A and B are shown apart, each in its own frame.
Chain A
Amino acid sequence: NAGVTQTPKFQVLKTGQSMTLQCAQDMNHEYMSWYRQDPGMGLRLIHYSVGAGITDQGEVPNGYNVSRSTTEDFPLRLLSAAPSQTSVYFCASRDRGLTGNTIYFGEGSWLTVV
């Protein structure tokens, strides 16, 4: 059972570089989201999507772009990496229709911007 798959698991970027974190889920969940985790701050929502073609901003969207062309995939793009974006990123998904359904997380992507 794959669940939510994130790649890459580790990445080092130079300031100003761009990259895409990939996220795919095989549970046919319509709701997907990206969080970043920083020490002492828990998880903060970056962007989310309630279905293919629909995305919206979360708490900390600046410097990130997302798109949702299919139900399965929800990539997160860093446009011009900054050291402040050094963090652990989690992709998550959950089912539509039943509020409060459990959110399932990917294994995380450790990103360092130097």
Chain B
Amino acid sequence: AQKVTQAQTEISVVEKEDVTLDCVYETRDTTYYLFWYKQPPSGELVFLIRRNSFDEQNEISGRYSWNFQKSTSSFNFTITASQVVDSAVYFCALSERGYGQNFVFGPGTRLSVLP
């Protein structure tokens, strides 16, 4: 069965600090996809990144970076030089192979960036 764990329920940092959000997943499939979504205070869910299980290259997008390690089943998300606008709930999600397979979401990590 697939499962996503985000052990950090809430994190508070001061603006300009770096912060890493942890995501650990479980799956029996060899082909799967991992995602991060952001939910700002306004409530909508915003797609951030998708990574397939065959691509372990780390990815950087501006102040955001993602570290995918199959050996530890982790897909961690780092925000560099955090800003107040980064305050949100962040969800990690897993989708296994096969059309119709559904997404499994982690419980989310609430990030508060203080000025």
B7 to chain A: closest CB distance in Å?
A: 13
Q: Chain B's nearest CB lies how many Å from the CB of A84?
A: 18
Stretch at the interface among B11-19, B64-72, B74-82, B101-109: B101-109
- By the criterion CB–CB under 8 Å, are B43 and A107 in contact? yes
Residues of B within 8 A of A (CB): 4, 9, 31-33, 35, 37, 43-45, 47, 50, 52, 91, 93, 95, 97-103, 105-108
Residue of chain B at shortest CB distance from A35: B105
Scoring A43, A88, A100, A105 by chain B CB atoms within 10 A of each residue's CB, the highest score goes to: A100
Interface positions of A (Cβ within 8 A of B): 31, 33, 35, 40-45, 48, 50, 58, 88, 90, 96-97, 99-100, 102-105, 107-108, 110
B44 and A105 contact, CB distance less than 8 A: yes
The docked-state distance in angstroms from the alpha carbon of A102 to that of B95 is: 10
Docked pose: A58 CA to B105 CA in angstroms? 13
Q: Are B43 and A50 neighbours in the complex by a CB distance under 8 Å?
A: no
Picked from B37, B95, B102, the residue with its CB within 8 Å of the CB of A48 is: B102
Residues from chain B with Cβ under 8 Å of A33 in the complex: 102
